[in-house]
Amino acid sequence: MSKKIILFVVCSLLVGGAFVQAQSKSERPNIIFIFADDWGYGDLSAHGSTWVETPNIDNMIKDGMDFANFTVNSPVCSPSRTAVMTGQFPARQSIHQHFQGWKAHEKRGMPDWMDPKDMSFPKAFQKAGYATAHFGKWHLGSAPDMPKESAYGYDEYATFNGSKNIDIPKAGSVGVDYAEDFIKRHKDQPFFINLWLHEAHTAHYPQERFMNKFGELDEQKQVYASIIAEGDEAVGRISKLLKELGLEENTLVVFSTDNGPEWEGGADQKQHKKGEVGLGKYYSVGETGGLKGQKRSLFAGGIRVPFVAKWPKVIPKGVKDDISVVTAVDLLPTFLEAANIPMPKDYKPDGESMMPALTGKGFKRSKSIFWEWKGGTSNDYTWPTLGVRDGDWKLVVDVTGDKYELFNLKADWKETIDLAKSNPEKAQELLGEVKAWKATLPTEPRASCLSAVRK
């Protein structure tokens, strides 16, 4: 690493840290993390889509920063969300597929829920005096005796795919209603909210008003555009309320999604499930922006997703950052630094704070990014089970360890040129790195996270 780069990184960290240290307790920002479901990088009009409309997220981009090099840490829901919550790669808890039911977990070598004893950022915010809430999707466990959401550091919650203690429907905007009410009641104290949307996961429940708006599109695009519009409206509702309450300037709002878009189903999949009202995968026509692969793939289309952040007077306006390499495990240390909450001494995050990037100073990561995904098939895009990014280089590996592909992401953002044969030294270097990481992972799920029916 050159002296110029080292100096740049050190200065960036000092600037970000100095900003946070200057905050007093009364100035601690509110933080709202809006996490959508199954959106592709290209599912924003600001990212080039010609048929979906996302005016509210586009406005966030105009007033904040748009990160082109953000990846989640799994190509499917539950492990991706575990990474966000814990700041660690989900494989550390043997979570490598979505939570479904204890029999499926047993076959997959998974626990039945994310460990509530582990670090999760709501706990840290709660301990620091923040009001904390989680509204919308949960999907961090599946068992009749799974812990309630409050065990993870939430004062209030209302979820679907959760503990069913306070259960809300997937369809409609009930989670957004809860979030708005929470903001109004806690406007005079710092708060943290996870607002995890259902859109654009199946089943699709398009609203008539949006269907009418996109009536000129073909049937598939009409439904999908309607679903995206509903998610975008949720972002707009939160933005509008913050402005009305005078909270906009002191609130960090982040929008992202848990993985790339679902694969399009055939005409026989118009219905989600027999007898259900919701529509199925036939209407899953999301766009990756030309990236290879989709949901369930460790290629770019499955893990590189929209990431937009807005925080007036802190985050520069209208900036596209296509240099900083950031990932989902970075959110926990970033949110803690933004709120001036110290990192617990006995906790080691896999992520790094991206505050220098958020303040427009750029970010040079020092840690590699790892992925583990055990749901692969013979599909051309879902076969990789392990992945690593180190600097500009990314390697994906199959379950045998014998098949792998190497990409230089600085030169080949869409991962179209496999360099494994032309650069075998780098391929072997990264292969050794990802295998060494794999050797540190547990071989069995934690007994404390198993349902009583399995014991």
- The upper half-sphere exposure of residue 130, i.e. CA atoms within 13 Å in the direction of its Cβ, equals 29
pLDDT at 51: 97
Tens of pLDDT, residue by residue, the chain (455 residues)? 444 334 334 444 444 444 444 344 447 999 999 999 999 999 999 999 999 999 999 999 999 999 999 999 999 999 999 999 999 999 999 999 999 999 999 999 999 999 999 999 999 999 999 999 999 999 999 999 999 999 999 999 999 999 999 999 998 899 999 999 999 999 999 999 999 999 999 999 999 999 999 999 999 999 999 999 999 999 999 999 999 999 999 999 999 999 999 999 999 999 998 777 899 999 999 999 999 999 999 999 999 999 999 999 999 999 999 999 999 999 999 999 999 999 999 999 999 999 999 999 989 999 999 999 998 777 889 999 999 999 999 999 999 999 999 999 999 999 999 999 999 999 999 999 999 999 999 999 999 999 999 87
Domains and CATH numbers, the chain: 3-358 (3.40.720.10), 369-439 (3.30.1120.10)
Q: Identify the pLDDT of residue 23.
A: 45
Return all residues near 155 (Cβ < 8 A) that are at least 6 apart.
126, 131, 132, 133
Per-residue model confidence (pLDDT) at position 13: 43
Whether this prediction's pTM lies above 0.85 is answered by: yes
Q: What is the 3-state secondary structure (H, E, C) of the chain?
A: CCHHHHHHHHHHHHHHHHHHHCCCHHHCCEEEEEEECCCCCCCCHHHCCCCCCCHHHHHHHHHCEEECCEECCCCCHHHHHHHHHHCCCHHHHCCCCCCCCHHHHHHHCCCCECCCCCCCHHHHHHHCCCEEEEEEECCCECCCCCCCHHHHCCCEEEEECCCCCCECCCCCCHHHHHHHHHHHHCCCCCEEEEEECCCCCCCECCCHHHHHHCCCCCHHHHHHHHHHHHHHHHHHHHHHHHHHCCCHHHEEEEEEECCCCCCCCCHHHCECCCCCCCECHHHCCCCCCCCCCCCCCCCHHHHECCEEEECCCCCCCCEEECCCCEEHHHHHHHHHHHCCCCCCCCCCCCCCCCHHHHCCCCCCCCCCEEEECCCCCCCCCCCCCEEEEECCEEEEECCCCCCEEEEECCCCCCCCCCCCCCCHHHHHHHHHHHHHHHHCCCCCCCHHHCCHHHC
The confidence score (pLDDT) of residue 147 equals 97
pLDDT of residue 386: 98
pLDDT confidence of residue 437: 98
pLDDT of res. 25? 44
